[in-house]
């Protein structure tokens, strides 16, 4: 039986690391054409998995790899 994932679980498509959005992801702030963004990267392999607006914390884009 496969364990079910919570809808609030983020996972790295490269190495399979899983954690809630406020879990152990490495955070860094970047600036894009959309303004200031918070990038979340995998603590195991360093892959950027998402970028979110700094103010709204809304997800702008999912990223497989940088």
Q: Are 45 and 17 in contact (CB under 8 A)?
A: yes
Q: Output the CA angle 46-7-37, nearest 5 degrees.
A: 45
Does residue 56 form part of some domain?
Answer: yes
Neighbours of 18 (CB within 10 A): 13
Q: Is 21 among the domain residues?
A: yes
Q: What is the pLDDT of residue 25?
A: 94
Question: pLDDT tens digits, residue range 4-63?
Answer: 555 689 999 999 999 998 899 999 998 888 889 899 999 999 999 988 888 754 444 555
What is the domain range of residue 22? 10-62
Contacts of 27 (CB under 8 A, 6+ apart): 38, 39, 40, 41
Rounded Cα gap, residues 21 and 39, in angstroms:
11
Domains contained in the chain, number? 1
Q: Confirm whether 3 is domain-assigned.
A: no
Domain membership flag for residue 52: yes
């Amino acid at each position: 039986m496969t364990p079910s994932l919570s809808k609030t679980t983020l996972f790295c498509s490269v190495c399979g690391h899983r954690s809630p959005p406020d879990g152990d992801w490495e955070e860094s702030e970047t600036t894009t054409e959309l303004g200031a963004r918070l990038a979340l990267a995998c603590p195991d392999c360093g892959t950027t998995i998402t970028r979110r607006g700094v103010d709204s914390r809304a997800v702008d884009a999912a990223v497989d790899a940088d």
